[in-house]
Amino acid sequence: MKIILIGYMASGKSTLGKKLAKKANYDFLDLDDFIEKKENASVSEVFKTKGEIYFRKQEAFYLKELLKGDNNIILSVGGGTPCYGDNMDLILNANNVKSIYLKASIPTLVSKLIKKKSKRPLIAHIESEEELTEFIGKHLFERVQFYNNAEIKITTDGKTKKDIVKEIFSLLF
């Protein structure tokens, strides 16, 4: 089975994905890391040198490639992945795939991202917590319609990583 974790940046897709993979004895893959290896460049570099349209085409291509295999994996996709092209349909219609939306509230996302914004090109330019809250709110409003198509929705606010992994595990296995 393939388990696809979707959600906004800092919702815990990679962190929880690694823990879930260990518990399930599955391989963990991060789509952005996979793209970086295949393209021999960081996501930021691909955006800068080849543009977002190129990146989104490659993202869809590599997503299809990963969905075709018959191996058991936990796949963390970028926050924008489900929102472009027909990526969410690909995920929903692929064989032996479960999609999980890791749903975090705006205040939770702000508290996580404010500390790490310099490492996140999309928000590095944002100066204040107020601006970040507004940015995330607007962005989530645009993306949530895609995220909500996931087969399973897990609210992460106020839960430990261990509890979230346990909850996902009990729903899938």
Instruction: Give the DSSP H/E element, type plus range, for residue 5.
Output: strand 2-6
Ligand-binding annotation for 124, yes or no, is no
Residue 110: count of CB within 10 angstroms of its CB: 20
Residue 91 CA to residue 151 CA, distance in Å, equals 10
DSSP letter at 98?
E
Does the annotation list 10 as a binding residue?
yes
Closest C-alpha to 154, from 1, 29, 20, 11: 11
156 is in an annotated binding site: no
Query: Are 96 and 1 a contacting pair, CB within 8 Å?
Result: yes
Residue 38 annotated as binding? Answer: no
Q: Is 13 annotated as a binding residue?
A: yes
**Residue from 90, 27, 100 nearest 62 by CA:** 90
Q: Confirm or deny that 27 is annotated as ligand binding.
A: no
Q: Is 158 annotated as a binding residue?
A: no
Is there a binding annotation on residue 143?
yes
| Residue 56 labelled as part of a binding site | yes
- Say whether 79 counts as a known binding-site residue: yes
The binding site comprises: 10-15, 32, 56, 79, 120, 143
The binding site for substrate comprises: 32, 56, 79, 143
The binding site for ATP comprises: 10-15, 120
The binding site for Mg(2+) comprises: 14
